[in-house]
Structure formats: structure tokens, C-alpha cells
Structure 1
Amino acid sequence: MKKLTVFSLLFSLLVAWNSSAQTKIELTHQENAPIISKHIYGHFAEHLGKCIYEGFYVGENSTIPNSAGVRKDIIEALKELQIPNLRWPGGCFADTYHWMDGIGDLDKRPTIVNTWWGGTTEDNSFGTHNFLNLCKELGAEPYLSGNVGSGGVQELADWVQYTNFKGKSPMSDLRRENGREEPWGVKYWGIGNEAWGCGGNMRAEYYVDIYRKYATFMSNADVDGGLYKIASGANDDDYNWTEVLMKNIPKSMLQGVALHHYTVIDWADKGPDIDFNEETYFKSMKQSWLMEELITKHTAIMDKYDAEKEVDLIVDEWGGWYDVDKEKSRGVLYQQNTMRDAMIAGMNLNIFNNHADRVKMANLAQTVNVLQAVILTDDEKMILTPTYHVMNMYKVHQDATLLPLKFNSPKYSYGGESLPALTVSASQNSENLTHISFTNIDAKSNHEITIDLNELDIKTISGSILTSTSLQDYNSFNNPSKITPKNFEDYTLKRGILTVSLPPFSVVVLKALQD
């Protein structure tokens, strides 16, 4: 009995030593470090489930307070988030959407059957004017996905003219007839979506020719710097797709190449949104971590043809995707948002930040009521998810200069496999404020970090943390504030050395002041 007690004590000390072993991070200020584009913090709103209708849009006659039919509480929440851009109308829906069906008198608009998402009939009451006016109110750049799959070249060219042309033309005249004198000046345009799949099941070589054709007839007039044209890019590790696009589309016609990667453990069995175990959680983290490898390898291909980095990588669909509980569902692809989603958000945003030399835009899927949403609604009720809070904490990196860092992450191990437990990114803004964001995905262990900040002459630290008692915790309509950011004080700063203790499954953002 005594020997067992001694052994247990020694084992406990060993575990405690391993869990508290320090990880040293080297952080430097480089003259040519890239700017972390604010557009990395973009969002996505597809006509899917209750994202648009009964989400964003309730109609002007709704008893829910609204601005031109869009919920005021959602507008205010997204303003607080400082969303830089919003992608619409899809997704798969984009290649079945005909924009002219969504303009003009409401009672004269044709209906559309959403064949991709639930087979529901939509009345086209939310259209181009609604979306672009919403973006203006939010202070966000609109990112329009053009219909290449079922729409013609002229249809897309007309949409560009309708939204952007100042002078007299058939489309600008039509815009004025519909109540909008000045154009919106839409800069960001996706030329099709998932052309390898729902956008037409095309081969890369075929899509290249389609892209070049559509891009040719999209006028750059009346937009400062011209249109920013984004090609439908690869799905996950389809590196050949990126190779074919970069090799065969002239850089003069191409500003961005998309990449889609979802955190899905198995497309045939995605697992539950709430009632998951640690095994499922670990598999989710493994799939989320794949983003680092995908960006690195797609970037290497882009570098072969574009060493000057004139073409951007656009991760315009990312996030967690789980099986829908049909008994609890509030619409197609509705899912709850737990601390697992906070880990996915923090990890991916750190990855994007650290690849800011090539990644210039990303769009979380999706904004309201669908997949890894930042907002959930139930009639008049609205809640902010853990993912919302991570995005709000990380917004300090928008348009700040990346501070490159190096470190060897401790491991998060489960079932004989290991992953890096930590992702970290840092930046310094125009006011010389330094921000450092940490995500610890380890389900069980604290991890202690040290950073030498003497080069930056840091004097004062403050911070916030997002965590909870269980990975499965979430904000509900009955308890909307179960998971919210709290003040973080588990750090020390002595002689320029910052020591931080990160709890299990936590997101921490520190602000460092020079005086």
C-alpha cells in the first residue's frame, strides 16, 4: 500500500511537470512583414435554411425590429464584429440564382425552388438591392458570387453594369427605375462557385476557358482599381486544380483563387453538433489542422507561377460541419455552436494570420443559423455563439502588421495520435498596439508559454479569455451568455519576459502596451 502511494505521487508529479513545461515563443518585428488583411475576417450568407429568410431577413412588416426588412439586432451585432465583407448569394445556390428575378416590384417577382437546400420555394423578396444596401449599412464590402453554372455571360455582365455603372445604359437605367440612382461600386466578384462540383462538375481545364470567357466581358468601369475577380478554386487537396488555374489564366485576369475546406470528420458520418465525445473532438481538430497543410501546399503551387504574390488565396468557405439533429433542427444545416467551434475558429484565424502574405480573404460559413454561425435566431430571440466571441476578440488583428513568430508546440495526444496543441499569431497595429492570440485545443492540459517581448519594449499587458467547463457547452436561447469572454489574468511580465498559462480548450487574446 505504501509503495503504491509513492508511485502514485511520483506519477502525479510527472504529469504535473509535463503539463506545466514551458513553450518558448520567438516573436520578432520584421521590416517587410505582411499586413493581415481585414478581409480574412469575412463572412458568408447563402440562401440556405434560415440564413436569409427568418435569419437576416424578416420583412418590413415583421414585428421584429428591422431596417428595410433586415433584423436590427443582427445589424448591430455584425457592426460590433466589424465584418469587412459579406459573400452572397452562395455557395451552390449562386449557380442557380438569376439576379434579375430579385429586383423590381415584389408582387411581380417569380419564385425560385431552392433545389440544393431543402427544395423550398423562395419568393425572391430578398435580392440585389437588399443585400447591397445591407452591406452599406454594415460598412462591409459586398462579395457577389456570379452564376456561371446555369447563367450566361451576358447575365453576369449585366449584373456588373447594374451594380456599378454611373452613366446611361440599359442596366443603369433599370437600376434607377428600381429606386437606386447611384451605383454601389461592387469590387469583389466570384466567377462561379465550386465549379468542380455543384457549380457544373467541370474539369479544371474546361473551367479555365469558362473563367477566361466570363472575365473578359465583366467591365472594370467605375470601380477604383478595377474589379477583383476570384476564380472558383480547389476543394481541399485538389492541387491539380490550383496548378491548372495558375498555369492557364493570365494574371491580368485573375486577382484571387478560392479554396474550400470544412472541418468534417467523415462526409458519410459527420457526427453530432453537441453530444460528441473526446474521440470525435480530436478527429475534428485533426481535420481543422489540415488547413495549415492545405494553405502551405496550394501556396507553393501559386508561388511557381506567381513569385511576386500578385494573385491572392481566398479561403471563402471554411468552418465546422456536423450532422443535423432532425428533431431539434430549425432549418437546413442548422447546428449548435460549442467550445469545439471556438477552437476551430481560433485555430483557423491564427493560421490565416500567419499566412497573410498569400491569404487575403476568408469567409466563415455561415453568418446566421447555418453551419458554424456567429448568430442564431428563434423568432424574436437572437444569441451570439462562441464563434462570434472569438471573431470579436480577434478583430484587433484586422489590417495590422504581422509579427512573425517561431515555436515548437506541445502536443495534444489522444488514441495514439498527436496534434500541435497551440496556435498563436501576433500583430502590431498603426497605433503600435501589439496583440497576441492563442488557441489551446488540448482537451485536458494547461500549457505554459514564455515570450521575450524586450524587442518590443512592452510595459503593460491586459487580456481576455473564452473558455467553459465542458467542450460541449454552448449558448442557448434559455442561457444566451453561458460562454462569453472574461478578463484574463493568468500571466506575468517580468524583465520583458511574458509567461502565460493557457487552460484546456481556451482562446486568449492579449493586448500589450509600450507605456
Structure 2
Amino acid sequence: MKNKLQIIGALLVALSCFSLVSAQDATIRIIPSDDAPTISRHIYGHFAEHLGRCIYDGLYVGEKSNIPNTEGVRNDIINALKELKIPNLRWPGGCFADTYHWKDGVGPQSERPTIVNTWWGNVTEDNSFGTHNFLNLCEELGAEPYLAGNVGSGEVQELADWVQYVNFDGISPMSDWRKENGRDKPWGVKYWGVGNEAWGCGGNMRVEYYADIYRKYATFMSDAGLEGGLYKIASGASNDDYHWTEVLMRDIPHNLLQGVALHHYSVIDWNAKGPSVGFSEEQYFKTMEQAWLMEELVTKHVEIMDKYDPKGKVDLVVDEWGGWYDVMEDTNPGFLYQQNTMRDAMIAGMTLNIFHNHARRVKMANLAQVVNVLQAVILTEGEKMILTPTYHVMKMYNVHQDAQLIPIELATPDYAYNDEKLPAVNASASKDAEGKVHISLVNIDANKSNTISVDVSALKLKGFTAEILTSKTLEDHNTFESPEKIQPEKFKKFKLKKGILEVELPPFSVVVLEGN
């Protein structure tokens, strides 16, 4: 009898466990709305700072290089970025922006002065890559340039002259100088950052002081005949500095302000960031915790913006985001060179989903950074180039660019580590101009698959195709010896029946489904 009771007890425990597992399956309800916002393509922006090997020996190798190039910029990188459909590119910083004097980077290269990059490694740069190089690159890419102005060590006239140099089509000292330097027609630069991280490397300012400085600089930045005018972006908050956003929205007239920035990196501990390869599950979990924090930060900063701007005329611009770890061994600590693993794919997928779901206010964002720095989409070594897992996620996701958001309701199981828990599943959906529906799903759980049931009955779709990005281990990454270890593959572990789409998501995976 005792043995029978033990067997029954064991069966009950097993059934209970099975019940719990079943209860943990995620569910998504699709809620189409004609009033839903458009997911701006500018959410998919990138960032190229004069930092480490991002510009020199990254994007720019010079016209005399044996590496195939266009005006000194690597052709393989140009082609890769075109495939990503990058909508905008931010330059020259970052912290570097507030020490950069743009006039040093125009005119004959032999006459340009050198500069010491005091922020990043104290290396000497020759200013061979300047305004013309950058803006011509953006034209080649079909991307909008986003120029970060020097407010920290620069002067109002310097920034006003830069605006006139790149934008004014009439007769003026700056437009005449541009023509002397080989460019007849202006580029028409719309996006301008008025300083960077004014609370830190941009001047260690109090927000009340910076708000007045911003008003002054923005006043003298002429639209210069640019159709639609300039789009001016204030140096915004770091992480949860909600007071910073409050003061900017309260004290800057909104006719001078089109965007407010926000910076947030997925960093475990600024004093002990951990390795980019060889990390533990604990370090992975804490990184995911910081990535998920973006949801809370955007929500709370938007609440403040809504308070002062209920009509939503000022945008939230998350112009620095991504994972930040210790530099790779035997590399310059000031160059911020790190590897890019499946952990970074998780950060990219979930962050972009968060931006999509806040598309009413988040109109622009810039991944840090484009080549060889932090969460780069591209890494180079001499003539070799590799595409990272982050690159592949952003390419899979670019189907959402300028599509209409489809609001969703998501119930997700937890990803548990020790006594801590995070939502395991993250998602967003959109409908493009051709009527195709795209659903992006991320499972951050390091160990467990999660089945997701998506009620798509309201969309009346005939069928789906899908791609997946995953690998055997979280630490997997592409190398110069094995450049295609991680890349998207066709995905078939889903079924559509009576309006319910059931998807089985493997651990640490990103899936994009297309329905029509």
C-alpha cells in the first residue's frame, strides 16, 4: 500500500509539474488599430564615433589602400550597411563631438591639423576623415546624416557656421568655402545634436544650465533654407535621470526642440563589466536585466514628456544603446573593442521590440557602434570583415521600418535565475504598406524553450514563413576564421490553425515571422 501511495504521489507531482510547464507558455493577442503609430525607420539608426577602430582602420582606410574602397571608405562595409537599410548615421561622437572642431576636417588633407583624441586612447588623428567624407558616405548609403555639434569646447558661431556650410545654397562665406573645397550643392543635413552627454563628458553641466545653453545654440542654428527646417536634438538623460528630462521639457520652448535624447547601455557594473566572451549565466542574466530596463526607462521618460507636450510634438531619441563589456584581451582599453555573441542578439531583438511598442514617442535611435566598437554590427581585421549576430537581427527586423505598429497584449513565462526572474519572451508586430504582417519574437531564457500562442484571427492571414537566429551556446560568435557560424536560417517550428499561430521558440533565439 505504501508503495502504491508513493507511486500515486509521484504521478501527482509529475502532473503538477506538467501543468506548471503548460501554464508558462506565452500568449500574444494581436489588437489591430487604425490609430496605431508608424514605426519610424529612424529607430534603426547607427553611430560612428572617432573611437578606437571605428573610423580609422574601420570605415575609413584611405583612397590609397589595397582594400577596395570608395573615397577611402571600404566597399564591403558600404555594401553591408546598404543591406541593413540603415536610415541614419550619427557622427562624430559621442564624447569626441565636444572636442571636435569641424573646420579642421575640411579643405586639402595635407593642410589639415592633427588632433589628439583625449577621450579614447590619446591617439593622434590627422583629420583625413572629415565633413565631406562623412556626408558623401551618407549619400552613398542613402542614409540621413545626424551631426553632433560641439557645445562643450566649441562656440555658438562655430556650430552656426557648420550649419551654413553644409546646408546653405546661396552666397555666403561658408557656402563659398564649401564650393572651394569641391562641393557645389549643399547636402541638406536635417538632424543635429546640440551637444552630447552634457551631464558628463560634454561639460559636466547642471541641467538648468544646459537648458539655457541649448536655447542659445539652437537660436543661432539657422534653417538655411532647408525644407522643413532643422531637427534639433537636446543632450538628454542618462538612464533614470528623470529630473533631466523634466527640466528640458519644461524650460526649452518646443519650437526650438524637436527631440530629446536618452542614453542607456546594458552594463552589469561600470566598475566590473565582465567579458564579452567567457561570461557566466549570472552575468548573462544581469545583462538581460539591464536590457529589459529600457522598457521602464522609455515608459517613465515618455510620461514626463506627455506632461509637458501632450500633443507629442517632441520625440524621444535613444541615440546611444547597446551592450558594453570589458575590452578584448591585448587590445587598447580606450578602443572599446569587444566580441559580439548571441547575448548581443538578445539585446538587439528585445530593445528593438521595446522601441516598436513605444513608436508613438520613440522616433529615432542609434546603436553604439557601427564598426569595431561596443555592440558593433561589423568587425574588421585587415582586409577581412565579419557580420555579427547583432547585424543579422537588425537585418531580420528591418521589415518593420515605416510599417504600422500592431499593438499586442503579451503574457509571458519567467526566465528564472536563482531567486530572480525576468520576462522570458519579448515581442512586437507590424503591418507594412503591402499588407504583410511581421511578428518579432525573442526568448531570452538561457536554458528553456518557450511555446508562444499568437491569436492572429483578427488579421485573416493565409499563412506564414519565418527566419530564426540562434546557436548552440550563448557565447557563440562569428570569427574571421569562421565568419558564418551564426546566421539566419529558415524556421519551421510553428503551425497556424483556426487563427492561432503556435510557435516553439528555442532558448536564446530570435524569430521573425511574415504573414500574408
Q: Does 1:36 align with 2:39?
A: yes
- Between 24-33 and 238-247, report the one with greater CA deviation: 24-33
Q: Does 1:96 align with 2:99?
A: yes
Q: Is the 8 A contact 1:464 1:508 kept in 2?
A: yes
Q: What amino acid does structure 1 have at the position aligned with 2:503?
A: V
User: 2 CA distance for matches of 1:6 and 1:62?
Assistant: 75
Q: Secondary structure at the match of 2:319?
A: strand
| Identity across the alignment (%) | 68
Corresponding position of 1:335: 338
Matches within 5 A, 1:6-405: 17-21=19-23, 22-327=25-330, 332-405=335-408
Q: What amino acid does structure 1 have at the position aligned with 2:40?
A: S
User: 1 CA distance for matches of 2:252 and 2:373?
Assistant: 34
Q: Is the 8 A contact 2:98 2:154 kept in 1?
A: yes
Q: Does 1:510 align with 2:513?
A: yes
The CA deviation at 1:7 is 7.8
Could you give the per-residue CA deviations for residues 78-126 of structure 1, whole angstroms, max 9, x where no partner exists? 0000000000000000000000000001110000000000000000000
Of 441, 444, 447, 1:441 maps to: 444
User: 2 CA distance for matches of 1:308 and 1:402?
Assistant: 19
User: 2 CA distance for matches of 1:158 and 1:126?
Assistant: 19
The CA deviation at 1:353 is 0.3
The CA deviation at 1:221 is 2.2
Q: Secondary structure at the match of 1:438?
A: strand
Q: Secondary structure at the match of 1:95?
A: helix
Q: What amino acid does structure 2 have at the position aligned with 1:60?
A: E
User: 1 CA distance for matches of 2:427 and 2:102?
Assistant: 42
Q: What amino acid does structure 1 have at the position aligned with 2:437?
A: T
Q: Which runs of 5+ in 2 are unaligned?
A: none
Could you give the per-residue CA deviations for residues 11-37 of structure 1, whole angstroms, max 9, x where no partner exists? 666555544543221111111100000
User: 2 CA distance for matches of 1:232 and 1:497?
Assistant: 45
User: 2 CA distance for matches of 1:7 and 1:94?
Assistant: 67
Q: Is the 8 A contact 1:322 1:371 kept in 2?
A: yes
Q: Is the 8 A contact 1:329 1:335 kept in 2?
A: no
User: 1 CA distance for matches of 2:281 and 2:20?
Assistant: 20
User: 2 CA distance for matches of 1:14 and 1:85?
Assistant: 52
Question: Kindly tell me: are residues 46 and 185 of structure 1, through their superposed partners in 2, closer, same or farther at Cα, counting changes over 3 Å?
Answer: same
User: 1 CA distance for matches of 2:7 and 2:509?
Assistant: 33
Q: What amino acid does structure 2 have at the position aligned with 1:35?
A: T
Q: Is the 8 A contact 1:50 1:331 kept in 2?
A: no
Question: Kindly tell me: are residues 6 and 339 of structure 1, through their superposed partners in 2, closer, same or farther at Cα, counting changes over 3 Å?
Answer: farther
TM-score (norm 1): 0.97
Q: Is the 8 A contact 1:19 1:446 kept in 2?
A: no
Corresponding position of 1:485: 488
User: 1 CA distance for matches of 2:11 and 2:242?
Assistant: 51
User: 2 CA distance for matches of 1:281 and 1:308?
Assistant: 39
Question: Kindly tell me: are residues 251 and 324 of structure 1, through their superposed partners in 2, closer, same or farther at Cα, counting changes over 3 Å?
Answer: same
User: 2 CA distance for matches of 1:479 and 1:448?
Assistant: 31
Q: Does 1:468 align with 2:471?
A: yes
User: 1 CA distance for matches of 2:11 and 2:387?
Assistant: 44
The alignment covers a number of residue pairs equal to 513
Q: Secondary structure at the match of 1:383?
A: strand
Q: Secondary structure at the match of 1:294?
A: helix
The CA deviation at 1:325 is 2.8
Question: Kindly tell me: are residues 165 and 491 of structure 1, through their superposed partners in 2, closer, same or farther at Cα, counting changes over 3 Å?
Answer: same
User: 1 CA distance for matches of 2:511 and 2:17?
Assistant: 24
User: 2 CA distance for matches of 1:6 and 1:474?
Assistant: 47
Corresponding position of 1:420: 423
Q: Is the 8 A contact 1:274 1:472 kept in 2?
A: yes
User: 2 CA distance for matches of 1:329 and 1:386?
Assistant: 23
- Between 219-228 and 153-162, report the one with greater CA deviation: 219-228
User: 2 CA distance for matches of 1:221 and 1:160?
Assistant: 8
User: 2 CA distance for matches of 1:66 and 1:331?
Assistant: 27
User: 1 CA distance for matches of 2:123 and 2:135?
Assistant: 24
User: 1 CA distance for matches of 2:26 and 2:120?
Assistant: 46
Q: What amino acid does structure 2 have at the position aligned with 1:108?
A: E
Q: What amino acid does structure 2 have at the position aligned with 1:343?
A: M
The CA deviation at 1:463 is 0.2
User: 1 CA distance for matches of 2:362 and 2:86?
Assistant: 17
User: 2 CA distance for matches of 1:372 and 1:5?
Assistant: 52
Q: Is the 8 A contact 1:50 1:330 kept in 2?
A: no
Q: What amino acid does structure 2 have at the position aligned with 1:109?
A: R
Question: Kindly tell me: are residues 173 and 387 of structure 1, through their superposed partners in 2, closer, same or farther at Cα, counting changes over 3 Å?
Answer: same
Q: Does 1:455 align with 2:475?
A: no
Could you give the per-residue CA deviations for residues 288-332 of structure 1, whole angstroms, max 9, x where no partner exists? 110000000000000110000000000000000001133256971
User: 1 CA distance for matches of 2:20 and 2:486?
Assistant: 29
The CA deviation at 1:445 is 1.0
Q: Secondary structure at the match of 1:407?
A: strand
User: 2 CA distance for matches of 1:35 and 1:221?
Assistant: 29
User: 1 CA distance for matches of 2:11 and 2:55?
Assistant: 57
- Between 372-381 and 447-456, report the one with greater CA deviation: 447-456
Q: Is the 8 A contact 1:20 1:446 kept in 2?
A: no
Q: What amino acid does structure 2 have at the position aligned with 1:209?
A: D
Q: What amino acid does structure 2 have at the position aligned with 1:192?
A: G
Question: Kindly tell me: are residues 331 and 56 of structure 1, through their superposed partners in 2, closer, same or farther at Cα, counting changes over 3 Å?
Answer: farther
User: 2 CA distance for matches of 1:335 and 1:487?
Assistant: 29
Q: What amino acid does structure 1 have at the position aligned with 2:471?
A: S
Q: Is the 8 A contact 1:19 1:447 kept in 2?
A: no
